[in-house]
Amino acid sequence: MALTVTPTVTRSAYDRAVDALVGQYRALPAGAPVRLAKTTSNLFRARSATGTPGLDVAAFRGVLEVDVEARTADVLGMTTYEELVAATLPHGLVPLCVPQLRTITLGGAVTGLGIESASWRNGCPHESVLDLDVLTGDGRVVTATLDNEHSALFHGFPNSYGSLGYALRLRIELEPVTPFMALRHVPCGDAASLATAISDITASGSYDGTRVDYVDGTVFSATESYLTLATYAETASRAPSDYTGEHIYYRSIQQRRTDLLTTHDYLWRWDTDWFWCSRAFGVQKPLVRRLWPTSKLRSDVYWKLVALDRRTSFSARLDSARRRPAREQVVQDVEVPVGALSEFLDFFHREVGIEPVWVCPLRQRDPGATWSLYELDPSVTYVNVGFWSTVPLPEGVTPAEGRVNRRIERVVTELGGKKSLYSTAFYPPEEFARIYGGDAYSGLRATYDPGGRLPDMWTKTVGRG
């Protein structure tokens, strides 16, 4: 008999929640915009106000089953990765790709993509989904799998951003991990050397004779970059480091060549300081750090502060009062082929100038799979480049023009890459369709939302719908 973990929600409770949600959906006025009522978000793009209450999906949070022997988890769509890992890690298992921020939901990571340092061997979160229940735009709840009658939806759901429906339940694969992670921070120098190191390590799965299980990197300047290589460790050779309080993880990358973390702390190493973005709130200053509650050193806390600043325009008004130039928010993740990484980073340092920058290699897990709304060449290793800050603009240029973001989009496309859509985007509809699914997407909309109840993907991600 399979060993399973005590669920946090029952099947009967899930069935009742599905019935109630379908009832909510059908009760919405004809033509009313549809969206979810969520308490957290990791999106960095504005949405227009609708005046219509969102669908209450609070009941879709919890773990139905963790099958330890089969290494699978059946999870509701609004469950955060923090909650999911809490259920699986005590049994030595984790999802194949655990995005960096605790409050990213499983459904959100699949419909909006996700990436982490295991992505060079496991791909993105959607690539470990075995089946999922989706509330579609026409009000049905369908189960999509690799090869059933809804297989086109299974392959088209990733990167659809809720424009085809909402994931209510997902069954995913898990993989075994050890209690600790041994880290090596390898100096790589300039962009060309960094790209070469990524190519070599992801091709061999090792570095300097030692197996590599996780790979990501940090670029501090045009001449200073590091790859962080993590390897499973059964035992601790010393006390693990702790970056959940006074000490700051990303600074350790420059200061240490080796390190040791518990697997739990490794998974959330970037969350405590939102990579390095907690600088904007003064949290990295020693005095503020000592006074700031440790429990509030979390990405979701910082995100709420950003949301408050957006609503009040406090930073913009303060800059204006101080006669400082307007600033454009440049919060993006892009994927470029590793062979184009050096060219992209050279452009980025020259024309954008944000530092540090995160890099993470990515390869499609199954070369034979087709993910129709975010196709990557399965023979190519890509590198995710993440950058999250603001840049000053010349006098007379407004942030709304998206001058810097548009330039980044053009360069990424020219280099054969793609851009994630969780933040601002400026593609015209025709170009957007060419990059993100085109006819395949139109066919899915016609099948699962013929009445157009849900905003289409361009409207949601570019048109601010």
Residue 217 lies in a domain: yes
Provide the 10 A C-beta neighbour count for residue 63.
21
Confidence of residue 465 (pLDDT cuts 50, 70, 90): low
* Same domain, residue pair 167 and 188: no
What average pLDDT is seen over the chain? 92
The residue range of the domain holding 69 is 4-177+453-461
The pLDDT tens digits of the residues spanning 169-198 come to 999 999 999 999 999 999 999 999 999 999
Task: Give the pLDDT of residue 311.
Answer: 73
Provide the 10 A C-beta neighbour count for residue 334.
22
Helix pair 403-414, 341-351: axis angle to 10 deg: 160
Q: Is it the case that residue 323 has pLDDT exceeding 90?
A: no
Residue 173 lies in a domain: yes
* Same domain, residue pair 23 and 144: yes
* Same domain, residue pair 89 and 144: yes
| CATH code assigned at 332 | 3.30.70
To the nearest whole percent, how much of the chain has pLDDT over 90?
A: 82
Q: Is it the case that residue 363 has pLDDT exceeding 70?
A: yes
The pLDDT tens digits of the residues spanning 432-444 come to 999 999 999 999 9
Q: Are strands 93-95 and 72-76 parallel, antiparallel or unpaired?
A: unpaired
Residue 86 lies in a domain: yes
* Same domain, residue pair 57 and 202: no
* Same domain, residue pair 379 and 251: no
Q: 173-182, 306-315, 386-395: which has the highest mean pLDDT?
A: 173-182
Q: Is it the case that residue 1 has pLDDT exceeding 50?
A: no
* Same domain, residue pair 158 and 69: yes
Residue 435 lies in a domain: no
CA atoms within 13 A on the CB side of 211: 6
Q: Is it the case that residue 397 has pLDDT exceeding 50?
A: yes
Global pTM value: 0.93
165: Cβ–Cβ under 8 A, 6 or more apart, which residues?
A: 134, 135, 136, 137, 153, 157, 448, 449, 454
* Residue with the two structure tokens 């590198």: 383
Task: Give the pLDDT of residue 50.
Answer: 53
* Same domain, residue pair 165 and 212: no
The pLDDT tens digits of the residues spanning 211-267 come to 999 999 999 999 999 999 999 999 998 999 999 999 999 999 999 999 999 999 999
Task: Give the pLDDT of residue 53.
Answer: 66
92: left (phi over 0), alpha (psi -120 to 50) or beta: left
The pLDDT tens digits of the residues spanning 53-96 come to 678 899 999 999 999 999 999 999 999 999 999 999 999 999 99
Task: Give the pLDDT of residue 64.
Answer: 96
Task: Give the pLDDT of residue 36.
Answer: 76
Task: Give the pLDDT of residue 5.
Answer: 65
Residue 51 lies in a domain: yes
Residue 330 lies in a domain: yes
**What's the 3-state SS for the chain?**
CCCEECCCCCHHHHHHHHHHHHHHHHHCCCCCCCCEECCCCCCECCCCCCCCCCEECCCCCCEEEEECCCCEEEEECCCEHHHHHHHHHHHCEEECCCCCCCCCEHHHHHHHCCCCCCHHHHCCHHHHEEEEEEEECCCCEEEEECCCCCHHHHHHCCCCCCCCEEEEEEEEEEEECCCEEEEEEEECCCHHHHHHHHHHHHHHCEECCEECCEEEEEEEECCEEEEEEEEEECCCCCCCCCCCCCCCHHHHHHHCCEEEEEHHHHHCCCCCCCCCHHHHHCCCCHHHHHHCCHHHCCHHHHHHHHHHHHHHCHHHHHHHHCCCCCEEEEEEEEEEEHHHHHHHHHHHHHHCCCCCEEEEEECCCCCCCCCCCCCCCCCCCEEEEEEEEEEECCCCCCHHHCHHHHHHHHHHHHCCCEECCCECCCCCHHHHHHHCCHHHHHHHHHHHCCCCCCCCHHHHHCCCC
* Same domain, residue pair 287 and 331: no
Q: Is it the case that residue 2 has pLDDT exceeding 60?
A: no
* Same domain, residue pair 115 and 14: yes
Given a contact cutoff of 8 angstroms between Cβ atoms, the answer to whether 119 and 135 are in contact is no
Task: Give the pLDDT of residue 48.
Answer: 55
* Same domain, residue pair 166 and 17: yes
Residue 353 lies in a domain: yes
**Which residue pairs from 1-5 have beta carbons closer than 8 angstroms and sit at least 24 positions apart in sequence?**
2/67, 2/68, 2/69, 2/70, 3/67, 3/68, 3/69, 4/65, 4/66, 4/67, 4/68, 5/63, 5/65, 5/66, 5/68, 5/87, 5/88, 5/91
* Same domain, residue pair 124 and 246: no
Task: Give the pLDDT of residue 304.
Answer: 87
* Same domain, residue pair 205 and 59: no
- The count of domains in the chain is 4
Residue 436 lies in a domain: no
| CATH code assigned at 173 | 3.30.465.10
